[in-house]
Amino acid sequence: MIAMPHLRLPAVLDNLEKLISFISECAGKQGYSPAELRRIELAVEEVLVNICRYAYPAGTGDIEVNCKVGSDSSLIEIIDTGIPFDCSTETCPDIEANVCDRKLGGLGIFLVHKMVDKVAYRREGNKNILTLLYKPRGKC
Partner 1 sequence: MNIEISRGDVVRITLKGRMDAVSSPDFDRALDELMSQGQRQFLLDLSNLEYISSAGLQSLLAAAKRLEQIEGIITLSNLNGAVLEVFQISGFDTLFPILDSRPE
Binding mask 70-89 for partner 1 (x = CB under 8 A): --------------------
Amino acid identity of 129?
Answer: I
Question: Which stretch of DSSP H or E encloses residue 108?
Answer: helix 107-115
Query: What burial letters (b/e) apply to 83-105, b meaning 16+ CB within 10 Å?
Result: eebebeeeeeeeeeeeeeeeeee
By CB under 8 A, which span of 14-22, 56-64, 80-88, 123-131 interacts with partner 1?
14-22
- In this structure, are residues 48 and 78 in contact, taking their beta carbons and an 8 Å threshold? yes
- Nearer to partner 1 (CB atom), residue 38 or residue 123: 38
Residues that bind partner 1 (CB under 8 A): 13-14, 16-17, 34-35, 38-39, 41-42, 45-46, 49, 52, 93, 95-100, 102, 104-105, 107-108, 110-111, 114, 140
